[in-house]
A and B are shown apart, each in its own frame.
Chain A
Amino acid sequence: MSIWEFLRTYGPALASGTLTTCTEFVLATAIAIIVAVVMGLAKLSSNWLIRAPAIVYIEIFRGTSLLVQLYWIFFVLPLFGITLPKSIAGFLSVGLNCGAYGAELVRGAIQSVPRGQWEAATAISLSPAVRMRRIILPQALSIMLPPWGNLLIELLKGTALVALISVSDLMFEVKQINAMTYLSAQAFGTALVIYYLLARFLITPFMRWLERVVARGLGRV
């Protein structure tokens, strides 16, 4: 079977899988961003009771495997009475996992905003909350955007694991095609190319664009 014939036959299944992958990616990214900001800020808190949970969270989710976390959320949580639909369990575990990495990016970026900026903000009497929101975070954003670009590509690749709990994403469709036809090279080759194209021609240009927007906000054009 030629590659064109393959694509014509399995195009719809591949397209639907790709769409699911994109959905999982977007939702997981949203979770990762929220978790990263909350945990990153919490880890910087001077209050021990706020800092400790963030440290524990980051240690657990960075220190253990994403696949094990996924299985925990999908297979073990129901034993405690929390049953999640598989697609939600999928993006939730990917998002929570990447959020832990993101939290460290947020924390590191906040800490690398020059001390003079904190002091100047304090000298005009800004409250700690306003200082963080109006002065520190906008500058931290420009520092952390490039590493976030890498993290989001990792996140996209991580979503392939949700196929293992039968979310019908790109990887799941490709495995099915392979099981039915034994056209392994075509099936997994196409998956490889699609993941690459998504990372290279959607995520990377989008992040570059964001970096430019933020740089313009800093008057550095």
Chain B
Amino acid sequence: MVRFLNVNKDYGKLSVIHQLDFDVAEGEMVTIIGPSGSGKTTVLRILMTLEPISGGVIYVNGKPLTHMAKAGVLVPADERHFRQMRSSIGMCFQHFNLFPHMTALQNCMEGPVQVLGLAKKEARERSEELLTMVGMIDKKDQHPSRLSGGQQQRVAIARALAMRPKVMLFDEVTSALDPEVIGEVTNVIRKLVAEHNLTMLMVTHQMGFARDISDRVCFFYGGKIEEEGSPHDLFENPQRDRTRQFLSAVKEAY
């Protein structure tokens, strides 16, 4: 579903992602863990086309993400191609980024109406269904400023899902939340995993959650995958020193 081939990302002289090869199968839930600055967020931002890549090719659903085929060769994509590719990808951010001038419902309806061209009524039905799924239907007419962090994040998940993406990206969606509301967001993600065939890529620092929910866990270090495997293998029996160090450091911290 998602394939990174020899992808590089540099910021000036700093190489953040280095020759990354990475595959995610359809319907797979992959969690990315790793120390701060290892490039976890960058991988998601590249996929969401919020950052251009410096080298390599990415395929999403068989189509090149940042390139278009023109007369048999791949050339850098234009804005239209980007927009078309984006519509199959949804992303949730650490700081929610809901639109503050719109209610929860309007936040969810914006994409379906403006991008997919749905009629208001249809967009509303779709959004209300999703807000019900995330448990936010009774707050649908509230502006984000009236919602708690956990509530905002659940609306943000509904907003992303309203575009019916094939791939969902979650970047530390619980990191900015108070401990007692983390559960309401992780429960929504659990539900997505159980009930939908979405391909998901999640960055998290919650190792317990990663372990319960993932099909595969990737440990990033220095812009590369240092080690990957099933949650059981990676957490119980890490092969690499750096993985072991990271896991024991995280265990101490929590």
Contacts and interface: CB of A to CB of B under 8 A. Distances in A.
Interface of A: 114, 116-117, 119-128, 130, 134-135, 138-139, 142, 217-220
Interface of B: 48-50, 79, 83, 86-87, 89-91, 93, 95, 97-101, 103, 110-111, 114-115, 142-146, 156, 159-160, 162-163
Contact of A125 (B100, B111, B146): B111
Contacts of A142: 101
B50 A219 contact: no
A169 to B, nearest CB: 38
Contacts of A119: 48, 50, 93, 97
Contacts of A114: 97
Given A122-B86, A124-B160, A218 B101 contact: yes
B110 A122 contact: no
Contacts of B99: 117, 120-121, 135
Contact of A139 (B93, B101, B110): B101
B201 to A, nearest CB: 14
A130 B114 contact: yes
B114 A126 contact: yes
Contacts of B97: 114, 116-117, 119-120
Contacts of B146: 219
15 contacts: A117-B97, A117-B99, A122-B48, A123-B50, A123-B89, A123-B160, A124-B111, A124-B160, A125-B163, A126-B111, A127-B79, A128-B79, A139-B101, A219-B100, A219-B143
Nearest to B84: A125
Nearest to B143: A219
The 3 A-B pairs at the shortest CB distance, nearest first, are namely: A219-B143, A124-B111, A120-B97
B101 A123 contact: no
Contacts of B142: 219
A138 B99 CA distance: 10
